[in-house]
Structure 1
């Protein structure tokens, strides 16, 4: 998927998204925020919730987010 510069700036922000993320956007957020802990980055936390709800990933219950 191709993103505009404005889209990428939004995806790179660490603030919580205003609108729900699509699964594609959530995957991109996870890629862009791979160094961020989900417990400290609202955008990565939202992306993680989206991907779990979509069944794309299953969190490891023995790990901390």
Structure 2
């Protein structure tokens, strides 16, 4: 694992990141914040929307977040 401590702390933060997420960062954010709701965790919401825009996630319209 080549992540620096600062990168790991940033990944754990629930706030909106200062920069757009890469696809890898979005996937990792979804994994780390899997217990979070996208209504309350800005990082997960950004990751979710990033993955939707990239066609990596297709939301299920019958499920709630």
Structure-2-length-normalised TM-score = 0.92
Unaligned runs of 5+ in 1: none
User: The residue matched to 1:28 in structure 2 has which SS?
Assistant: helix
**Normalised TM-score (structure 1):** 0.92
Residue-by-residue CA offset, 1:7-50 (whole Å, 9 max, x unaligned): 11101100011110000000010010000011110110000000
CA RMSD in angstroms comes to 1.2
Number of positions where the alignment pairs a residue of Structure 1 with one of Structure 2: 65
- Determine helix, strand or coil for the equivalent of 1:31: helix
Q: Hey, what's the Cα distance between the residues in 1 that align with 2:4 and 2:50? A: 22
Q: Map residues 23-62 of structure 1 onto 2, 5 A cutoff.
A: 23-62=23-62
Matched, 1:5 2:5: yes
Runs of 4+ in 1 over 4 A off after TM superposition: none
